[in-house]
Structure 1
């Protein structure tokens, strides 16, 4: 059955004309004539049976329907362009698409990824931020790195490393004190992470404390956001030290209590069961788990 879709040429002309609100500027951008652009948009309006522009002697103006449609068309054309460039860029190469939780990806994985590239120059690893689980069937991802219990339907889980977050803040927050006890921390502004909503409750609970305000305070989705807020004296944050190593070494953040929160959850590499036999994914999985074990052994205790 033939799809009810207008011509791509008409859509491209419409998107350019809508963006500029000018047929003349659209024709210049597309290296076409104004008449050709006008004809394409007229054919699109006829196809849709909807007026997209109001014409006047002063020029053209998008109608409400035209404005709404232009936003949708622009989004879809951008997606088609990205997919096209992706396919063009993959010619002759072996590419794996990995979804990764952002701060782990930028602070721990990326600095080590060059070693994988050196070992496997024929494999390209693309990383995309994803903070929460998703359905692999609905995406183009070949694997994902996430923090959790390793339960993800239809996937094989490979444990990487624990988090063990500790309370950190800016040196100015604690003045000249070497550390703060848990009772003092309980009275300070607590920075919360939306993907770890019970972190502070669990941290205080591990010390046998029941703090009524352990879930109050501003919430941020990423550890990098928590780190920035802590560096700007907004409060105390629970962050794994390996994600803020540079900030700690440079003195922009300091560990204000050495007690670490232990958890049954960990970072995992998740690979869909239908792809576990992929040679490139096996190479990535072997390298990543080896790197994680080496890092844990070097830094445990």
Structure 2
């Protein structure tokens, strides 16, 4: 995918390796219904969040169709998180090829969703991007590479250990730059959901219902983030190369709950799904790309 270089004004920081470990810290509550709703998950691979035995894939929280509500033609106000202390985006993003690629995708998603929000007259607040190496810290608690990429709604930041990209290619067979871009676009989708209130809705469901119902709500949230990733790609299809979409679909197929459960435990337990099957993830990523319309990503009122 031929993306522009990142905007130097994006909010990016690099924690390096802060040491420590464990799932301690901030706004998360219990491991399953605290960490899961807040930290969302891991992009997919070994991932679905370690907490759920490699069952969580991507993370964050979201929104459904309200992105197109609220008409009016007035321009949207854009606000950004306070810049991180230390190195600026240019220094951090230029330090390694994988970080530059992640920053380029993050910046592209930022511009794309800012424009979508502006069309509907809604206020957009850009998230931040934090790199870490093995161990880091987030507003949702500890950040660990085993968790995979995740979005923390507490501080509105995406967390990424770029070593995940190697795992994505080598363990899950999802090679190519677009597979990596899909990871960033999915996590950015969770930020959109957080801005629009879907994340809060899902957390309320998880707190007031049984495990099966809470998991089902999580699945719909994750599939919507996949669909939002497809919408981002559709808005940038002029920058895509032949084969890019297939790279993303291959990644989505590799990180479905059913596929990961078979790999991890040799059997599938549908009631424990938190991110959707491989077929569902492929469908919603492709659906977002084919429609290019966030309103078509309502996984909560439509079938999954």
What's the TM-score bracket when you normalise by the shorter of the two chains? under 0.3
Give the TM-score, by structure 1 length: 0.26
Structure with higher strand content: 1
Structure showing greater Rg: 1
TM-score, normalised via structure 2 length: 0.26
Q: Which has the higher contact order (CA 8 A, sep 6+)?
A: 2
More helix by proportion, 1 or 2?
A: 2
